[in-house]
Amino acid sequence: PKEYTRIYVMFKINTEGKIESIAARAPHELLVEEAERVIATLPKNIVPGKHNGKPVAVKYALPIAINVN
């Protein structure tokens, strides 16, 4: 069976639809840097979350499983 390395990325989409507060955890610093770089390249105009019709910031946690040789 293949073994996967897990990278956990947390970030927030603010009320303007911009990504901020990117943080990652991984077993190697290069994986952390790459995960943060990839999240930072997401579109800059994401539709923010809404609560009672008003935009709100939303926190996300994204687990990534990769096979590293």
Main-chain dihedrals φ then ψ at residue 18, nearest 5 degrees: -105, 145
Q: Is the pTM of this model over 0.85?
A: no
As a whole number of angstroms, the distance between CA 2 and CA 67 comes to 7
Write out pLDDT tens, residues 1-56.
Answer: 678 899 999 999 999 999 999 999 999 999 999 999 999 999 988 999 999 999 99
Phi-psi region of 53 (alpha: psi -120 to 50; beta: other; left: phi over 0): left
